[in-house]
């Protein structure tokens, strides 16, 4: 392993896999944590059940414990759509097809993180061009993901014109990605040590989208009715938050800063930080990161050749990698045995985000729910999945 | 004096009920029927109160025949005794008779609440407030005696006796400032349902009755009228609000009683400020119609709650029975002020009255429009509160074990509410009755609110009813019975779901008005409790009262039931003898 | 002045909706269209067998390159039952049975201005009570299987069942397909299907 070593915890806690607790560059055996006390239903409360088939983007059973109006507790149950995906016993290439389909909307982040871990296990390092190309993929994906979050938030307010303009932009990004990588969701665009992401004129095309978005964003910022729905909604004060939710609370947690798997260091990257800590803060961070990602894409200077290289590495080993997905840290840990994956560890951002979302829902009312939910950008497909 | 002989059957029924519960209730019903007939022997404005009360007693005692078996042997005699006290008030010609009746009524109902108590404060609270009202009434009687030189209830030249009697009655009616919110609902809510029905339906009516009676005998002052309107309106708003957030059906109905009494009081106040005979007549009609609808519907609600066995909202359960449902529907519709029930007419009249008053120039106009608007707001809340009662007591799945006698009583009371609505043009003053023959609404079929000889508004109950019925029939004839495929409820794909509970039903208001209701959302809202400013004060006073009462109880009486009963019987005999002697 | 004239903003943006289906689709990502080629390849989902490509299984993983390549044809769907009742108004109830999120977003995309499903009389609904068709996405999962049963029970007739994406049709590479347990009137191929494919399939499903 290049970057990870077993040791005493240092730095921020990123999350726990089945076997390990992960810190930046450090892993250790998982320590048992006390489960928070389950919510005891009071006499006045009843459970308002929402979902699984309720018109939300994905299926999950959401239970609101409420004595009327005010929400005391939220449970989100995704067992109902639990998928079991076999990874162990496969070659990395076969496993990749399944990893991409854990969360298709963030397929590039998952695939790249997984591949980085595999490459770490094999002890190979892809050429610089490939790594930079991966940054381009992740940043393009981030733009689309953030556009969806902002669009869904506007949708919760029934804000027709911006919703349509944002989905217009999102579809544009999907088409750009489709044109450059051959697939609208980066399926099959990544392989061990290589990528298929043609980058000529990418920066210009993405730049146009980003400029167009900036106009919508500015107009949204002066739409009082919309902003009022977000401010003080879902205040997130957890110190171990990740991704945009952390950065919206003034916490500088970003794998682009503290994970060396991708060469962000060369791009003079500084995270967007906001202090609001509510849904409005997350809206701001998500929106501003669209411009930032577009700038990053402009800064990356690579040529189109040398985008794949078949390196021969060892067939046994252990590797770990972590990258910043649009919603926060993704982590994969791989153990290879004779070229076959024998164990897999993972941390998906939706787990932490869901936990923080549930905490931030206390005291809210149901009409706040959609704004808050969308602001975290939680994907049930990342939660309702077991990797075996 | 004639009226006094009509009390005798009540006395007999008390004796019967000591030995045989069922026979006692039956004889009480018969006595009430006789008393009802008595109301028509000399039909004056005041005798309409006798008619109203005896109608309630008839139904309440029929209801009790089956319901009463759930409670001990003392309930029946005490129930009869309470009715006897009230009947005494209604036929009293002297203050002594009146005060005796008042005390017998209070004592007996105190004992009912005391026998059925779950904790010790409700009977104490009830007794405390009863005694407070008695003090006012005795003072009023004393002053009247000093002015007129007679203990007979005759007209005086001073307002003071009326003011004092009104204060006494206000306490009994649970008005502001005598504990707007809790004492009456808690006391009434802690009695067995049949007793609650007569407490809420007729005991508060006694207060109304006596204020009206004194009003006819005293000089009127508009300032006092405005004070009564203010008290009435504040009571309406707060009581309907408290009713809406109340989480016990009987407490809710108790608050609704305060609300209705507030409306009646405001109408009385309006009578005092009204300056034309037409308006005054309309106000008097409003008082009677509203009192009629309140007394009957309220006893229906209590009976219905008792019959459904839902004496507290059990979260989400609810019992259902077609007859009970229909009866409760009509009762709650009446208390919500909806057509085609007599309550709809009462609400229409009271709002109409205030809006006519708004045409008055100057200050009275402003008072009227403000009172009318506030009243409309209160009625809105009341409708929401009644929906809650209906939904959480009787709209559930079919449940066995509802006594047929009880549910029939509830149902027929509901039918009577509609029947009274239909018959209202025939017993309201003929001055208010008219018609528009040009549109086929014949003379005698509309009730008109008149402002200086022009129509202000009008309503034709029978036409409303017939349009409703014919619309329904046409619908059935044209579309037939609805056809369809019955599928399980779609609940987001879940198999089962937890229905909305009664607490959540009104929690929006509880949270919105947390300053007034002192809603405690707790830390991160684990629990939500409620206590209002007035209640905290009352509890303190009750605590003191309890201490004093404890001293007397330990010193003079032991707490055995028998001693209370002996006290009751002695009081009863004393009243009989004394009142007869004085009469 | 902090006033937003969103309505005017909308108008000044101009019409972004394409002329599809009257005109050919623009801008298609190649790996969501039909594959053509010759020979046998090592296909992880056995979508290519005996030189024949089966869109119901294909997950567009590019393993068959260079023997097989996409030809740009978006018509990869099969309609075995259609109903002309839905010609003017077609309400879809989306049901995520176990999807990765890509199908969900692609279905959502047909509401984007480029496609604008409402001009074609296609709408989404949040309850099966108002639905003409149920669109199932993702692999079969036990919990959602029951939900699907309840939803079908709750839907008024006539109704169509649409399976969208390789997972729902055949299970793709992830699991079991929903069509193994429920009969689908319409299957829409792709991983995930292209919005153009979805639109054409929906129009075909109502007899156009």
Whether B500 has its CB under 8 Å from any CB of chain A: the answer is: yes
Q: Please report the pLDDT score of residue A382 as a whole number.
A: 92
Residue C51: inside a domain: no
Q: Please report the pLDDT score of residue A248 as a whole number.
A: 94
Residue A40: inside a domain: no
Checking if the pLDDT of A313 tops 90, the result is no
Residues 6+ apart with CB under 8 A from A339: A91, A92, A315
A302, B163, B367 from B274: Cα distances, Å: 93, 18, 12
- Do A59 and C95 count as a contact with CB atoms less than 8 A apart? yes
The full DSSP string for B321-346 is -HHHHHHHHHHHHHHTT-TTSHHHHH
The percentage of residues in chain A with a pLDDT greater than 90, rounded to a whole number, is: 58
Residues 6+ apart with CB under 8 A from B387: B332, B336
The band of B332, judged by pLDDT with boundaries at 50, 70 and 90, is: very high
- Do B492 and A49 count as a contact with CB atoms less than 8 A apart? yes
The band of B276, judged by pLDDT with boundaries at 50, 70 and 90, is: confident
Residue A54: inside a domain: yes
The band of B522, judged by pLDDT with boundaries at 50, 70 and 90, is: very low
Q: Please report the pLDDT score of residue B107 as a whole number.
A: 82
Residue A64: inside a domain: yes
- For residue B316, the chain A residues in CB contact (below 8 A) are 46
- Do B488 and C151 count as a contact with CB atoms less than 8 A apart? no
Whether B488 has its CB under 8 Å from any CB of chain C: the answer is: yes
Q: Please report the pLDDT score of residue A128 as a whole number.
A: 86
Q: Please report the pLDDT score of residue B529 as a whole number.
A: 46
Ranges assigned E (strand) in chain A: 5-6, 15-16, 20-23, 26-29, 46-50, 61-66, 73-77, 83-85, 190-191, 194-195, 317-325, 328-337, 340-347, 385-387
- For residue C96, the chain A residues in CB contact (below 8 A) are 57-59, 81, 380
Checking if the pLDDT of B488 tops 90, the result is no
- Do A69 and B316 count as a contact with CB atoms less than 8 A apart? no
Domain count, chain A: 1
d(CA A58, CA A81): 9
Residue C47: inside a domain: no
The percentage of residues in chain A with a pLDDT greater than 70, rounded to a whole number, is: 97
Average pLDDT over residues A78-89: 90
Between strands A328-337 and A317-325, the pairing is antiparallel
Q: Please report the pLDDT score of residue B550 as a whole number.
A: 60
Domain count, chain C: 1
Q: Give chain A's mean pLDDT.
A: 90
The band of B399, judged by pLDDT with boundaries at 50, 70 and 90, is: low
| Cβ atoms A115, A133 nearer than 8 A | no
- At A111, list the tokens: 């695939």
- At C79, list the tokens: 């309609």
Asked which of A244-248, A308-312, C45-49, C188-192 is least confident by mean pLDDT, the reply is A308-312
- For residue B503, the chain A residues in CB contact (below 8 A) are 43-44, 46, 67-68
The full DSSP string for B112-126 is HHHHT-SSSHHHHHH
Q: Please report the pLDDT score of residue B527 as a whole number.
A: 40
Please, which chains are in contact with A (at least 3 CB pairs closer than 8 A)? Answer: B, C
Q: Please report the pLDDT score of residue A323 as a whole number.
A: 93
- For residue B484, the chain C residues in CB contact (below 8 A) are none
Q: Give chain B's mean pLDDT.
A: 81
Domain extent at residue C136: 77-205
Checking if the pLDDT of B401 tops 60, the result is yes
Checking if the pLDDT of B181 tops 50, the result is no
The percentage of residues in chain C with a pLDDT greater than 70, rounded to a whole number, is: 98
Residues on C contacting B at a C-beta cutoff of 8 Å: 127-129, 144, 146-147, 150-151, 153-154, 156
The percentage of residues in chain B with a pLDDT greater than 70, rounded to a whole number, is: 81
Whether B452 has its CB under 8 Å from any CB of chain A: the answer is: no
Beta bridge partners of A35: none
Mutate to test the interface with A, among C13, C29, C33, C109 (most CBs of A within 10 A): C29
Please, which chains are in contact with B (at least 3 CB pairs closer than 8 A)? Answer: A, C
Q: Please report the pLDDT score of residue B180 as a whole number.
A: 42
d(CA A106, CA C105): 11
| Cβ atoms A262, A131 nearer than 8 A | yes
Residue C137: inside a domain: yes
Under DSSP, the state recorded for B491 is -
Residue C94: inside a domain: yes
Q: Please report the pLDDT score of residue B557 as a whole number.
A: 46
Average pLDDT over residues B83-95: 89
Whether B490 has its CB under 8 Å from any CB of chain C: the answer is: yes
Cα B129 from chain centroid (whole Å)? 17
Mutate to test the interface with C, among B485, B486, B489, B493 (most CBs of C within 10 A): B493
The band of B525, judged by pLDDT with boundaries at 50, 70 and 90, is: very low
Please, which chains are in contact with C (at least 3 CB pairs closer than 8 A)? Answer: A, B
Q: Please report the pLDDT score of residue A310 as a whole number.
A: 64
- Do B487 and C154 count as a contact with CB atoms less than 8 A apart? yes
- At B398, list the tokens: 């079919």
d(CA A162, CA A378): 21
Quickly count: other Cβ atoms within 10 Å of residue B369's Cβ: 16
Domain extent at residue A86: 5-35+46-387
Q: What is the pLDDT of residues C114-159, one digit of tens each?
A: 999 999 999 999 999 999 999 999 999 999 999 999 999 899 889 9
Q: Please report the pLDDT score of residue B520 as a whole number.
A: 54
d(CA A325, CA A102): 13
- Do A182 and C30 count as a contact with CB atoms less than 8 A apart? yes
Residue A41: inside a domain: no
- Give the residue ranges of DSSP H helices in chain C: 6-12, 102-109, 142-154, 165-170, 195-205
The band of B322, judged by pLDDT with boundaries at 50, 70 and 90, is: confident
The band of A208, judged by pLDDT with boundaries at 50, 70 and 90, is: very high
Residue A330: inside a domain: yes
- Do B316 and A46 count as a contact with CB atoms less than 8 A apart? yes
Q: What is the pLDDT of residues A32-67, one digit of tens each?
A: 888 888 888 887 888 999 978 887 889 999 999 988
Residue A172: inside a domain: yes
More confident residue, B41 or A255: A255
| Cβ atoms C165, C55 nearer than 8 A | no
- For residue C147, the chain B residues in CB contact (below 8 A) are 493-494
d(CA B424, CA C26): 75
d(CA A97, CA C62): 10
Average pLDDT over residues B352-378: 88
Asked which of A150-164, B162-176, B325-339, B544-558 is least confident by mean pLDDT, the reply is B544-558
Residue C167: inside a domain: yes
Q: Please report the pLDDT score of residue B112 as a whole number.
A: 82
Q: Please tell me the total number of residues recorded for chain A in this structure.
A: 388
Asked which of B320-334, B564-578, C52-66 is least confident by mean pLDDT, the reply is B564-578
A105: nearest CA partner in chain C: C102
- For residue A370, the chain C residues in CB contact (below 8 A) are none
Checking if the pLDDT of B524 tops 70, the result is no
Euclidean distance between the first and final Cα of chain B, in Å?
Answer: 7
Residue A171: inside a domain: yes
C108: nearest CA partner in chain A: A57
Checking if the pLDDT of B558 tops 50, the result is no
Beta bridge partners of A340: A337
Beta bridge partners of C163: C136, C187
The band of B183, judged by pLDDT with boundaries at 50, 70 and 90, is: low
The full DSSP string for C33-51 is S-EEE-S----TT--EETT
C151: nearest CA partner in chain B: B493
- Do A42 and B491 count as a contact with CB atoms less than 8 A apart? no
**CATH number of domain containing A169:** 1.10.645.10
- For residue B485, the chain C residues in CB contact (below 8 A) are 156
Starting from the edge strand earliest in sequence, which strands make up the sheet with A61-66, in order?
A46-50, A61-66, A73-77
**CATH number of domain containing C92:** 3.40.50.12280
């Amino acid at each position: 392993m290049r970057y990870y070593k077993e040791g005493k915890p240092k730095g921020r806690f990123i999350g726990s896999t089945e076997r390990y607790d992960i810190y930046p560059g450090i892993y250790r055996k998982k320590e048992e944590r006390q489960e928070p006390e389950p919510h005891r239903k009071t006499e006045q409360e009843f459970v308002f059940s929402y979902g699984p088939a309720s018109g939300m983007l994905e299926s999950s059973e959401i239970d609101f414990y409420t004595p009327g109006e005010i929400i005391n507790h939220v449970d989100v149950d995704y067992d109902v759509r639990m998928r079991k995906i076999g990874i162990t016993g496969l070659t990395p290439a076969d496993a990749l097809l399944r990893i991409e389909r854990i969360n298709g909307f963030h397929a590039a982040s998952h695939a790249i993180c997984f591949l980085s871990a595999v490459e770490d296990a094999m002890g190979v390092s892809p050429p610089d061009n490939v790594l930079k190309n991966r940054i381009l993929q992740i940043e393009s994906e981030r733009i689309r993901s953030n556009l969806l979050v902002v669009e869904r938030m506007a949708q919760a307010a029934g804000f027709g014109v911006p919703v349509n303009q944002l989905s217009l932009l999102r579809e544009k990004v999907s088409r750009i990605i489709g044109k450059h990588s051959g697939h609208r969701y980066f399926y099959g665009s990544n392989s061990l040590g290589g990528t298929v992401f043609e980058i000529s004129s990418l920066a210009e095309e993405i730049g146009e989208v980003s400029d167009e978005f900036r106009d919508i964003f500015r107009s949204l910022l002066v739409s009082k009715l919309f902003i009022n729905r977000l401010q003080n909604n879902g205040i997130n004060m957890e110190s171990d938050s990740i991704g945009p939710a952390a950065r919206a609370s003034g916490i500088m947690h970003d794998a682009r800063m503290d994970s060396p798997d991708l060469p962000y260091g060369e791009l003079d990257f500084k995270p967007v930080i906001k202090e609001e800590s509510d849904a409005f803060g997350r809206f701001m961070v998500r929106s501003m990161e669209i411009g930032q990602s577009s700038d990053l894409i402009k800064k990356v200077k690579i040529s189109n050749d040398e985008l794949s290289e078949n390196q021969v590495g060892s067939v046994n080993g252990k590797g770990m990698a972590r990258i910043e997905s649009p919603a926060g840290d993704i982590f994969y840990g791989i153990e290879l045995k004779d070229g076959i994956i024998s164990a897999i560890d993972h941390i998906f951002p939706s787990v932490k985000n869901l936990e923080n979302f549930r905490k931030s829902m206390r005291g809210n009312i149901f009409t706040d729910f959609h704004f808050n939910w969308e602001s975290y950008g939680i994907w049930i497909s990342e939660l309702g999945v077991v990797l075996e | 004096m004639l009226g006094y002989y009509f009390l005798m059957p009540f006395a007999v029924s008390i004796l019967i009920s000591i030995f045989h519960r069922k026979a006692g209730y039956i004889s009480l019903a018969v006595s009430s029927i006789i008393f009802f007939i008595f109301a028509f022997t000399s039909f004056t404005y005041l005798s309409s109160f006798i008619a109203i009360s005896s109608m309630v007693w008839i139904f309440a005692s029929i209801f009790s025949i089956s319901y009463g078996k759930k409670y001990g042997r003392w309930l029946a005699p005490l129930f009869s005794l309470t009715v006897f006290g009230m009947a005494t008030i209604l036929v009293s010609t002297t203050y002594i008779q009146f005060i005796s009746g008042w005390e017998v009524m209070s004592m007996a109902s105190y004992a009912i609440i005391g026998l059925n108590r779950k904790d010790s404060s409700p009977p104490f609270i009830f007794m405390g407030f009863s005694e407070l009202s008695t003090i006012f009434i005795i003072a009023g009687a004393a002053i009247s005696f000093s002015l007129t030189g007679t203990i007979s209830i005759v007209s005086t030249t001073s307002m003071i006796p009326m003011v004092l009697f009104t204060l006494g009655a206000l306490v009994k009616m649970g008005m502001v400032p005598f504990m707007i919110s809790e004492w009456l609902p808690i006391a009434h809510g802690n009695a067995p349902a049949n007793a609650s029905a007569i407490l809420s339906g007729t005991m508060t009516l006694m207060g109304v009755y006596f204020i009206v009676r004194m009003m006819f005998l005293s000089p009127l002052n508009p300032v006092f009228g405005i004070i009564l309107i203010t008290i009435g309106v504040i009571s309406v708003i707060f009581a309907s609000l408290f009713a809406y957030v109340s989480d016990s059906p009987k407490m809710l109905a108790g608050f609704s009683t305060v609300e209705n009494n507030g409306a009646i009081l405001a109408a009385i106040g309006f009578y005092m400020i009204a300056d034309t005979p037409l308006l005054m007549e309309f106000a008097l009609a409003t008082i009677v119609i509203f009192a009629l609808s309140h007394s009957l519907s309220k006893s229906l609600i209590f009976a219905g709650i008792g019959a459904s066995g839902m004496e507290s909202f059990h979260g989400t359960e609810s019992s259902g029975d077609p007859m009970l449902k229909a009866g409760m529907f009509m009762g709650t519709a009446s208390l919500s002020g909806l057509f085609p029930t007599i309550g709809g007419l009462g609400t229409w009249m009271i709002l109409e009255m205030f809006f006519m008053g708004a045409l008055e120039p100057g200050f009275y106009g402003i008072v009227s429009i403000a009172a009318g608007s506030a009243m409309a707001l209160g009625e809105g809340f009341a409708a929401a509160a009644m929906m809650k009662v209906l939904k959480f007591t009787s709209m559930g799945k079919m449940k066995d074990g509802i006594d047929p006698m009880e549910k029939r009583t509830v149902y027929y009371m509901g039918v009577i509410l509609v029947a009274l609505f239909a018959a209202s043009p025939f017993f309201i003053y003929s001055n208010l009755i008219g018609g528009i023959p040009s549109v086929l609404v014949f003379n005698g079929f509309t009730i008109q609110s008149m402002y200086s000889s022009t129509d202000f508004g009008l309503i034709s109950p029978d036409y409303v009813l017939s349009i409703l019925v014919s619309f329904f029939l046409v619908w059935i004839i044209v579309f037939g019975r609805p056809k369809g495929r019955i599928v399980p409820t779609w609940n987001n794909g879940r198999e089962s779901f937890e229905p909305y509970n009664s607490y959540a039903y009104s929690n929006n208001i509880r949270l919105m008005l947390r300053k007034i209701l002192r809603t405690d959302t707790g830390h991160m809202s684990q629990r939500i409790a409620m206590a209002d400013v007035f209640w905290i004060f009352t509890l303190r006073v009750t605590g003191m009262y309890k201490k004093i009462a404890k001293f007397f109880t330990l010193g003079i009486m032991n707490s055995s039931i028998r001693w209370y009963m002996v006290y009751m019987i002695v009081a009863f005999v004393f009243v009989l003898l004394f009142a007869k002697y004085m009469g | 002045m902090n006033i937003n004239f969103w309505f005017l903003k909308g108008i000044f943006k101009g019409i972004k909706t394409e002329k599809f289906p009257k005109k050919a689709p623009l801008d298609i990502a190649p790996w969501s269209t039909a594959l053509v080629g010759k020979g046998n390849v090592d296909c992880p989902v056995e979508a290519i067998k005996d030189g024949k490509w089966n869109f119901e299984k294909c997950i567009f993983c590019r393993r068959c390159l260079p023997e097989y390549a996409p030809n740009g044809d978006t018509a990869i769907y099969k309609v075995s039952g259609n109903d002309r009742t839905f010609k003017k108004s077609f309400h879809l109830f989306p049901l995520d049975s176990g999807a990765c999120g890509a199908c969900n977003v692609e279905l959502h995309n047909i509401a984007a201005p480029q496609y604008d499903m409402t001009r074609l009389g296609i709408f989404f609904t949040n309850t099966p009570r108002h639905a003409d068709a149920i669109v199932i996405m993702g692999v079969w999962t036990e919990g959602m299987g029951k939900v699907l049963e309840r939803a079908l029970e709750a839907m008024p007739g006539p109704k169509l069942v649409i399976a969208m994406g390789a997972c729902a049709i055949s299970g793709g590479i992830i699991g079991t397909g929903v069509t193994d347990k429920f009969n689908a009137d319409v299957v829409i191929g792709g991983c995930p299907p292209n919005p153009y494919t979805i639109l054409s399939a929906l129009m075909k499903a109502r007899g156009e």
